[in-house]
Structure formats: C-alpha cells, structure tokens
Amino acid sequence: MTGNSNKLLAVLATYKPAPWRGRYSLSRLFFNFYLLVMGSFVAIAIFADFVISTAVKGITDDYTSRFMRGTVLLIEDELFRRPRSEWPKAIEALDRKFAYKLSIVDRWTLNLPPIQAARLDSGELAIDVQGDIIYHRLKQTPQILVVGPISPERNPEYPRGIPLDLRISLLTWSLIGVCLAIVVWLWVHPVWRDLEAMRQTARALGEGLFEARAPSMRSSAFRPLAETLNGMAERIQRLIATQKELSSAISHELRTPIARLRFALEILADTPEPCERERLWRTMEADLDELDGLIDSSLTYARFEREQPELDLTAVEIAPWLEEQVEASRMLARRLELRVDHSTLPPLLRVELDLKSMPYAITNLLRNAIKYAKTRIIVSAEVLGDQIQVHVDDDGIGIPVDERERVFSAFTRLDRSRDRATGGYGLGLAIARLVLEQHGGNASAAASPLGGARFTLSWPLSQNVTES
C-alpha cells in the first residue's frame, strides 16, 4: 500500500496541466458578433416592413384608386367619342402621350383576386396584387381598360437598370452596415481585451503561478468576474501557503516526540528494573499525548483556515457563558487563582456568537495564560462602543511590544517559550484569531494591568443584541 501511495505521489508531483494552445481572435469575435447583430437587424427590418406593408396596403390601394380615377374617366370619355372599331388606334395614340402603358383587354383574360374582381364588375377601379396596374370596365362592355404598370421600373419601354428604390435601399443598408460595424468594433474591442487578460490570468493560475492576478477590467460587465477570479487566486494561494506551512511545521514538531519515543523504546528493551520501565512508559505516554495534541491542534487550525464556515450565531447571556468556559479550564490552572470579573457589563447582557467555534478562542487564551501566569488569571468583559471585548489577563512575564502581532501567526513561539513544558505548538493564538475574524472581530495582545500579558477578543454587537 505504501509503495502504491509513493507511486501516486510521484505521478502527482510531476503532473503539470498542459497549457491551452488555442488563440482568441479579435477579428473572429468581431465578425461573429457583427453578423449576429446585422442579421438580426435585417430580419427584424424585413419583418417590420412586411407587417407595415400588409397593414397599409388597403390604404395605398384606395389612394391609388382616387388618384388615378380622374385620368381613367377622361380616357374612357375619349374612347367613347369614337366608334369601338377605332379604339385600338385611339389607345395607341393616347399611350404615346402617357408615361405608363395603356391597353384594352377582354374581361375573361383577367385573373384577379375575388375582392378586386367584384370591384371591377361593379364599375369601380380594380388594382392588381402589386398595386401597380389599374383595371376599369368600359361602361358595361366586356372590355377592360388596363392602365400601367405605373412605376417606371416595371414599364418595359424604360431602359433597364437598378431600380431607384433598390439603389436607395442599397445605399441606406450600406450606411447602416458601416455605422453598425463601427459601433460593434467599439464594443467588442474592450470586451476582447478583458477576455484575453482573464484568459492569460487563468492560464498562469493553471500553470501554478498563483501570484498572477487579473488586471483592472475596462468593461463593467467583467469586473465582478475579475474580482471573483482574483479572490479565488488569493484563496488558493493562501491555502497552498498554509498547507506548506503546516506540512513543514508539523514535520519539524513531530521529530522531537518521535525521537524521544524511539529512544525510550530502545532503553526499555534493555531495562529490567520495574521502576525505570514504569518511568519510561509514562514518558512515552506523555510523548503520545503530545503527538495527539499536535495533530488535533493542526487539524483544528487547518479546518478554520480552510473552510470559513457559515456561523450559526446564537444569542447568549455573556456573563454566565464566560463563567462556564472558565470552569471548564479550571482544573488546568492547578494552584493559580482563576476568576471572572463581569462587574462592568450591563445586567443580563446578551450577545451573539457561534457556540461551536467561540469556545476554541476562549479556551486557547486560557491555556496560554495558565502556561505563563505566576499566581493569578482574571477573565473580564466590557462593552466598548458597538463592540464586546473579552480580556484574559495574567501576571506572567508579558510579551514585548514588537512581538505582540507575531504571536498570532501559526507555529510561532517566542524565545521565552521554547521550553517543551510550556512552549506548546504555537497554534492556540492563531486559532483564536481565525475564530474572531470569522465573527467579524479580532484578537490582539497588549500589556496587562496585572503585569503580564493581556489577550483581548473583540467582535461586534449585532443589531439583534438585546438587554433583558
């Protein structure tokens, strides 16, 4: 099993994700987005034109009928001044005078929509589907006067070319396309630049460069994404640093008790005296307890550093809760005077805290004070502004000013605490600070009125805090 684990670790140690070799193309992004926008715009315009044309067709046909009615009636009067045999010649003569074609056809040759056919048979003007040819029945005769096509583009006598309306449409759509291309470019270019910057950052993070950060985004749409990416990178970097720190520190801390255990076992094998063997057993038990405490403290610190859990805040009456925490540690104090002073607190003050994590902070401060106090320890609490502060004072040797911040770093022990009997593992104060940071507060060190060290836990009084 150990051999397989070593092989797996060797594989993971040498594994490095292959970087993505693709390339984002600004031109491709621009053209794809431009075609999407332009195609959507054209489709909407064509649909809107169809809807509008359909809606106003009746109005247009009615306008055309009223506009051409006088001309049609004049042509009809001109024809009826002559015999019907001369109508073809008369139509040819009139046709040369008009800008549109005139002709006479039999009624049965026409295939009109039912509505227009009914209009034609009732003596009114009928219009074809395109709205460009007008039909009129000549005074109860079976012959129909055909006027049109009215538009020059459909008149075969006019020279062929690009119709005027088509030329205007092409020019209009060309200008729209150019203007839209400029707008799309002005929008796509900063977006592409931000995407490329985030891609480079993600690629660097994938290659293990966890100090890489996404630059400031120019597009407001990508700022939250960049902030999330940077936050993720910082979190990963901190977790990896914590893992390395824990691995290095735990490896160092484990050596001493393991060496003592090995030494005691070697001596135990060659020691026949019962008293000496019992002493060695007690020594090994103490070393095992030390190993167990180190592992437990390390796992607790790693959990608080890694998880950042959602707090389950509960309103508790602070004075009895402090008494309860102190009583739990009173056996460790031995002959030390350990008391709680909550005389400065408002009566029956309730505060909100997490009942699972906050005891870690109080207990670790008490254990630290018990290690260094000479005769007494006082736990007190007070309300300062919108903060609740809990102080743990001892009459020990205190902490130098320049060391008061460093003591909250993991695996930090000051020179005066290197003795294994009092030194601990340097994790208690680090755990206390992590717990308070999760509560939105802080843990700090200062000089104690008793002459030793004062450790203070401070966190906000929430809006739900009430005084009974």
Q: Are 465 and 352 in contact (CB under 8 A)?
A: yes
Q: Which two tokens stand for residue 324?
A: 């309860």
Which residue among 136, 189, 252, 391 is the active-site one? 252
Q: Are 359 and 432 in contact (CB under 8 A)?
A: no
Q: Are strands 376-384 and 337-341 parallel, antiparallel or unpaired?
A: parallel
Pick the closest to residue 66 from 127, 10, 121 (CA basis): 127
DSSP at 139: T
**Helices and strands per DSSP (H, E), number in the chain:** 11, 11
Q: Which two tokens stand for residue 198?
A: 């985030």
Pick the closest to residue 131 from 66, 50, 58, 70 (CA basis): 58
Q: Are 342 and 319 in contact (CB under 8 A)?
A: yes
Q: Which two tokens stand for residue 348?
A: 């029956």
Distance CA 373, CA 370 (A): 5
Q: Which residues contact 302 (CB under 8 A, 6 or more apart)?
A: 242, 243, 246
Q: Which residues contact 129 (CB under 8 A, 6 or more apart)?
A: 113
Enumerate the β-bridge partners of residue 147: 102, 134
DSSP H helices in 81-99: 87-97
Has 189 been annotated as catalytic?
A: no
Which residue pairs from 182-189 have beta carbons closer than 8 angstroms and sit at least 24 positions apart in sequence?
184/30, 184/33, 184/34, 184/37, 185/30, 188/26, 188/29, 188/30, 188/33, 189/26, 189/30
Which residues are identified as catalytic?
252
